Amino acid sequence: MRELIRCTNVCKDYARGAERVSVLRNVDLSVRDGTFTALMGPSGSGKTTLLNLIGGLDSPTSGEIEVDGLRLDSVNAGNLARWRARSVGFVFQFYNLLPVLNAQRNVELPLLLTGLSRSERRKNAGLALEIVGLGDRGKHKPGELSGGQQQRVAIARALVSDPCLLVCDEPTGDLDRATADEILTLLQTLHWELGKTIVMVTHDPRAADRAEHTLHMDKGRLVSSASGTAEAVA
Amino acid sequence: MFRQTVNITAMNLRSVLSRKGSSSIIVVGIAGVVAVVVGLLAMSEGIRSALRETSHPDRVLVMRTGTQDEITGWLSAAEVNVLKGVDGIGTVSGELVVVVDLVTRETGKPGVAVARGVEASAFELRPDLTVVAGRPFQPGKNELLAGVNASDTYAGLDVGSKVNVRNALWEVVGHFDAGGRAHDSEVWMDLPIAQAAFRRDGVVSTARAMLDVGSDAALVSERIRQEPRLRADLVFERDFYARQSEAKAGMVESFAYLIGAIMALGAVIASVNTMYSSVSTRSVEIGTLRAVGFSNVPVVVSVMVEALLLALAGGLLGGAVVYVLYDGLVSSTLNVGSMSQLAFEFAVTPRLLLVGLGSALLLGAIGGLLPALRAARLPVVAALRSG
């Protein structure tokens, strides 16, 4: 399998007043296409920061990040936004659905950035909702859906433009056990059946067990992986 | 990009309804500014219009050289006779203009009105003046004819009643409508009786005259200036009233803009605050849109459109309130030229409403700009984290 994500010597610092805080320190990471990787670690270990860098939401202070052949650390904000629209689907802990739009329109949102016609957008959004098992809930607004259903809509939104990478930040963090299991099963299905590459940040070891690979972070460094090397390979 | 912008703006506007409380601060704040500014400008427009409507394009005043108003001017009877002989001058009416003390109807307090002593020619010069109640005064009698606004403004001017002016009782015999607001605020009386009552025998304040048809006004003016028996200048009525209205209306206008500017500052601060709060409420939404791949431009446009639409709603509300409450409302103000009350109608014209809406949009744009730029500059990660 080809390499989809490569991070080389990635550092990320933040300014906190006059002080500089190192959130990521010399992280090297390689993720192959079509894999399901869990990223674990205590709060403040830098896992969400690393996920944001991989998803092109933030840029590193130093180091190289290459995803699907594009050097994310050297493209401008406009190109990065276009790349995100094309290549990445995001799943957030609190779903981040737009409350004024119904499920169908929420899922259609990323397709507004494509050249698809209205009918094609509707068709694709309907298909994505079918995949997550909510084909009959398109007209419902987020407030009318349960937490699990809202996360399914968010997953449909992440899927709809057929990106090569899904980045999930604590996708089950706001859900009860049973619902969390349903969501994890859905992510596994997307990975197995649609071959999606998934990188998931989680606190929950049971969620991490559903992934093929688990990487651990602590104090801004990747400390161990399934293979136990400093350079994590998933 | 256009489609992104339209879609995000539409989404944002739908969410405005869920932020009714904070949004209404902008609407009400801007409505207040527009109502005050348009109301005061409608007052100044009304004053201008009242004085403008009094003038006739061919009617002139002949005034003592150097005087600016009718009250302080004077011409002798001999000078009026000389004027009648000037080539190009038609009907002439020597008029004595004085102020009289009356009681204002509304407050019961003393007020001053313009009294005008006139001859029959004064009515010939003003064919649009009609007696709407009672009858004209008779020469040689202490009788008054009150303008329709004067009879509304001052107590004791009902037809048939008697009023004390300069220690003499005058009977109000009728009301006139001059179709022009300045005269409508006056009381008229017979010239010789007025000259006797006000101890101005043989003197008038100014003369009004109609230029002969086809005569050259500049030439007539020159003849008057060159006439050695006359120390007077010719002034067109429209120029005379324009000068008077400029002083008063200009003052009201300056006041309108001063008060408007102070209120606008408050409204802008409220708008900026509200739009910042709107951006803050929506920051996760904005972050999500940016994460999905939307660019900054639609976000900026959506915030600006929201601010502008709320401002427009405020402008319409303020304009509607002032139109319903004030348009056509008759009020009076002190006319600086004659130190008397001048009745006028508030005129909320389409031009003023457009000025009000324009101001509202300007305030909305100023109020929306900083929050819109903040929304655009907010890093995606920070916006997502703010939830």
Minimum distance, in Å, between the CA of residue B287 and any CA atom of chain A: 9
pLDDT of A227 reads 40
Q: Are strands A88-91 and A70-71 parallel, antiparallel or unpaired?
A: unpaired
More confident residue, A159 or B51: A159
Residue of A nearest to B7 (CA): A112
**Domain A3-233: assigned CATH number:** 3.40.50.300
Question: A173-213 pLDDT, tens per residue?
Answer: 888 999 999 999 999 999 999 899 999 999 899 999 999 99
A141 close to B (CB below 8 A): no
Minimum distance, in Å, between the CA of residue B271 and any CA atom of chain A: 23
Does A226 score more than 60 pLDDT? Answer: no
Report the C-alpha gap between A8 and B103 in whole angstroms: 94
Contact residues on chain B for A98, CB-CB shorter than 8 A: 11, 285, 288
pLDDT of A146 reads 93
pLDDT of B49 reads 78
**Residue in A57, A98, A101 nearest the CB of B291:** A57
- Answer whether A27's CB lies under 8 Å from A234's CB: no
Q: Which two tokens stand for residue A176?
A: 């009860």
Per DSSP, the three-state class of B386 is coil
Bridge partners of A216, per DSSP, are A40, A224
Q: DSSP for A62-76? A: EEEEEETTEEGGGS-
pTM above 0.80, yes or no: no
Name the stretches of chain B with pLDDT < 70. Answer: 54, 180-181, 332-343, 387
Does A228 score more than 70 pLDDT? Answer: no
A 57-96 residues with CB < 8 A to B: 57-58, 78, 81-82, 84-86, 90, 92, 94, 96
Report the C-alpha gap between A90 and A92 in whole angstroms: 6
- Position A123: which residue type? K
- Answer whether A160's CB lies under 8 Å from A108's CB: yes
Does A47 score more than 80 pLDDT? Answer: yes
**Residue in B290, B381, B384 nearest the CB of A81:** B290
Q: What share of chain A is helix, strand, coil (3-state, %, to 5)?
A: 35, 30, 35
Report the C-alpha gap between A139 and A134 in whole angstroms: 10
Residue B186 CB coordination number (10 Å): 25
CA angle B93, B98, B101 (to 5 degrees): 145
- Answer whether A54's CB lies under 8 Å from A65's CB: yes
Domain map (residue ranges) of chain A:
3-233
CA angle B151, B157, B162 (to 5 degrees): 170
Per DSSP, the three-state class of A117 is coil
Report the C-alpha gap between A111 and B292 in whole angstroms: 10
Confidence band (pLDDT; 50, 70, 90) for A230?
very low
pLDDT (average), residues A120-149: 93
Report the C-alpha gap between B309 and B315 in whole angstroms: 10
Q: Say yes or no for a CB contact (<8 Å) between A55 and B379.
A: no
- Answer whether B292's CB lies under 8 Å from A109's CB: yes
pLDDT of B336 reads 55
Bridge partners of B154, per DSSP, are B104
pLDDT (average), residues A3-10: 93
Burial letters for B84-115: b for 16+ Cβ neighbours within 10 Å, e otherwise?
Answer: eebebbbebbbbbbbbbebebeeeeeebbbbb
Confidence band (pLDDT; 50, 70, 90) for A15?
confident
Report the C-alpha gap between B49 and B244 in whole angstroms: 12
Instruction: Please name which of B6, B28, B31, B26 lies closest in space to residue B16, comparing C-alpha atoms.
Output: B26
Q: Which two tokens stand for residue B212?
A: 């002969």
- Answer whether A88's CB lies under 8 Å from A167's CB: yes
Tokens 């972050």 appear where? B287
More confident residue, A153 or B39: A153
pLDDT of A232 reads 56
pLDDT of B312 reads 93
Does A88 score more than 50 pLDDT? Answer: yes
A115 close to B (CB below 8 A): no
**Residue in A81, A92, A100 nearest the CB of B15:** A100
Bridge partners of B239, per DSSP, are none
Residue of B nearest to A102 (CA): B11
Report the C-alpha gap between A68 and A164 in whole angstroms: 8
Q: Are strands A88-91 and A165-169 parallel, antiparallel or unpaired?
A: parallel
